[in-house]
Amino acid sequence: MTQTLTPCPHFIGGEWLTPTGATSPVFNPSTGDVIAECPIGGAAEVNAAVEAAQAAFPAWRETPAVERARVFFKYRQLVEQNFDAICRTVTREHGKTYAEARGSAFRGLENIEYACGVPSLLFGDTLENLARGVDCETLLQPLGVTVGITPFNFPAMVPLWMFPLALACGNTFVLKPSEKVPLTAVLLAQLLEQAGCPKGVFNLVHGGRECVDTLLTHPKVRAVSFVGSTPIAKYIYETGTRHGKRVQANGGAKNYIVIMPDADIPKTVEALSTAAFGCAGERCMAGSTAVTVGKAAERLLPSLVEAAKVIKVGRTDQPAPASQPDMGPVITAQHRDRVMNLVASGEKEGAKVIADGRSARVSDAPRGFYLGATIVDGVEANMTLAREEVFGPVLNVMRMDDLDSAIATANASAFGNGAAIFTNSGAAAREFKHRVKAGMVGINVGVPATMAMFPFTGWDDSFYGDLHIQGREAVQFYTQQKVITTRWFGGDVGDVWKK
C-alpha cells in the first residue's frame, strides 16, 4: 500500500518552500515504511536563510527583551496545546515510545520556559565609582545570525535546547535538523510562526553535508551550536572556529555506571535498565557500561538479566498509548546491523552475551528496525565494544575488584559526558564525584542529564568548545559583553534643572 508522504518544507524568511531537488527518505522505524522525503538543501537554500536571518536581525535586536520573551510565553502555550501532536511525530519518525517522547519533549518545553525569563538573564553588572566620578557597567548584546545543527535522537528536545534561548537573547537563527527526523522540526517551526515570531527571525533548512559546510563557512554566521557524533562534532568545531565563529559542539559518549557491593539492588536494577535500554539506548547519556565492584556482580546480574528479558519490544506508532511497548525500534536498518556487529565483535574478543536481544521480532511489523535488550558480560577495556559508542540497547558489564579500579576504568575513556555510582556509602560517593572524569555525575541517579537551568557539561571527546548548551553558559554563548566606562564633566548638576 502506498502511503501519503508527509510534507517536509524549508522555512526561509517566513515562507514555506518545497524544493524539487534531491531528497533523503524519512522512515517510520516501527514499520520500515518511508513516511516523508527530506529535501537535501544546498548552498542556495542556506544562503537565502542566512540572508533572511541577517535582514531580520536589526529589528529583532531592537525589540525589547520583555517583548521577545512574550513570543516565547505564547510559544510555550502553543507547544503545550500541541504536545500530543509533537510527541506522536517524534514516535513516528524516531521510534521512541510515546512516554519517552513525552519525557524528552518536556525537557524541551522547560528550555522554552527558561527562555521566557530572558529579561532577568540579560542583566549586566555595574560598579559605581570605579574611579572617582567614573562608573562601569556591562551589557549583554546579541551576536547576529546563529545556527543549530541537530542529531536524530531527540527530534524535539535538542532543537529546543538551542533556538528559544538564542532568539530570546536577540539573535536570529537557522536550524538544520537531522535529515532522519525533519518532521518534528517542521512542526516546531509552524508553532513558532503562530506564536508571532517575525519573518526571517527563525529559519529552517533541511539537508546534509553541503548545507552544514555552507553554514560553517558563511561570513554572516556568528555562532554555531551542534549536537551529534564525536567525529562530526570535532569537524564542526575545527571548521567553524577556523572561519571565525563561536562553536559549541556536543559529541558522542560512553557513560560508566559503577555499582558498589552495598548498592540497593532492586532500585539499581530499575535505574540501570532505564539508563541502558531507555530510548533503545539511543541517547548520549545512556548508561552503556555497568562497572561492578567486588561482589556487586553476583548480587546484581541475575535480576538485571531477568529485567532485560521481560522488556517488551514493539511498534511505537500505534494511536493508543496503552498499547505501547517498553522499548521501540532503533533508527534505521543500517544502525541495527551496526549494533549487532559490535555485539558480535565483543563475543569474538571473548565477552559473553548473557541477555541476547538480537533475534527480537515484532509480528505485526516484520520490516521494523528492532533489537531487544542485550547484556554483554566480561567486557575488557581493549575490546572494540568497550571503546566505541554503540548507541543501541546494549549494556556492557565490566567487573572490577575495587572502587579505585572502577574509577580508573571510567577515566580511561576518551569521552567524558556522564558517569554514575550506585552505593549507600557517602564516602564512596564522595570519592567518586571528586575523581571521576565526566561532566555530569549521578549519585544513585542513572541518567544525570541536566535540565534547562544547568549547563549540559560534557568533557573531553563529548564536547568541543568553551561554553556549554543550556543555562547561564548558553546565555554567555549567545551574547557578547560590552563594558561601558562613563564619566560626566561639570560638577554643577543643579544648574541643569534651573534652566
CB of 229 to ligand NAD, least distance (A): 3
Task: Tell how far CA 408 is from the center of its chain.
Answer: 27
Classify burial at 441, counting beta carbons within 10 Å of its beta carbon; exposed 0-12, middle 13-18, buried 19 or more. Answer: middle
Question: Of residues 38, 87, 197, 284, which has the active-site annotation?
Answer: 284
State yes or no: is 136 an active-site residue: no
CB of 298 to ligand NAD, least distance (A): 32
Judged by beta carbon, residue 142 or residue 228, the one nearer ligand NAD is 228
CA–CA gap between residue 215 and residue 45 (Å, rounded): 10
Question: CA distances (Å), 316 to each of 87, 114, 138, in order?
Answer: 11, 30, 50
CB of 434 to ligand NAD, least distance (A): 23
CB of 157 to ligand NAD, least distance (A): 9
Judged by beta carbon, residue 89 or residue 153, the one nearer ligand NAD is 153
CB of 74 to ligand NAD, least distance (A): 28
DSSP 290-354: EEEETTHHHHHHHHHHHHHHTPPB--S--S-GGG--SB---S-HHHHHHHHHHHHHHHHTT-EEE
**Residues contacting 260, CB < 8 A, separation 6+:** 293, 294, 296, 403, 421, 422, 423, 424, 425, 428
Judged by beta carbon, residue 247 or residue 300, the one nearer ligand NAD is 247
Judged by beta carbon, residue 317 or residue 461, the one nearer ligand NAD is 461
Look up residue 2 and give its DSSP letter.
Answer: P
CB of 288 to ligand NAD, least distance (A): 10
Question: CA distances (Å), 466 to each of 170, 206, 250, 455, 476, in order?
Answer: 21, 27, 11, 11, 10
Chain contacts with ligand NAD (rule: CB under 6 A): 149-154, 158, 176, 178-179, 208-209, 212, 227-229, 232, 250-253, 284, 389, 391, 417, 456, 458, 462
Three-class secondary structure of residue 223 per DSSP: strand
Residue sitting closest to ligand NAD (CB): 228
Amino acid at 296: A
Cα 360–182–115 angle (5° rounding)? 110
The β-bridge partners of 421 are 258, 443
Judged by beta carbon, residue 76 or residue 254, the one nearer ligand NAD is 254
Judged by beta carbon, residue 228 or residue 393, the one nearer ligand NAD is 228
CB of 118 to ligand NAD, least distance (A): 22
Question: CA distances (Å), 349 to each of 45, 102, 378, 386, in order?
Answer: 47, 39, 10, 11
The β-bridge partners of 23 are 39
Judged by beta carbon, residue 167 or residue 227, the one nearer ligand NAD is 227
- Asked whether the beta carbons of 37 and 19 are under 8 A apart, the reply is no
Q: Which residues are catalytic?
A: 284
